[in-house]
Amino acid sequence: MDIIVNGEPQELADVITIATLLEARGLTGKRVAVERNGEIVPKSRHAETAIASGDRIEIVVAVGGG
């Protein structure tokens, strides 16, 4: 299953959720926001939102800026 995370193609062996994707990237418990195909996935739904083939996922954080 191929998806795009932050603009980069990624191949997934199993069906996973947003929560497991965050875990795989060491982002569990971090202050991030996630968008799936242009729609916000609220934190409360990370665990139940499954990722489908072709999904475009954005994971963002706050960084220094003016």
Largest CA distance in the chain: 40
Determine which residue in the list 1, 4, 32, 49 makes contact with other proteins, applying CB under 8 A: 32
CA pair distance 19, 28, nearest whole angstrom: 7
Binds other proteins by CB under 8 A, chosen from 15, 33, 47, 50 = 33
When asked if residue 1 is in the footprint of other proteins (CB under 8 A), the reply is no
What is the CA angle 29-31-1, rounded to 5?
75
Q: Is 29 in the site for other proteins (CB under 8 A)?
A: no
DSSP state of 44: G
Binding site for other proteins (CB under 8 A): 6-7, 25-27, 30-35, 38, 40, 42-43, 58-66
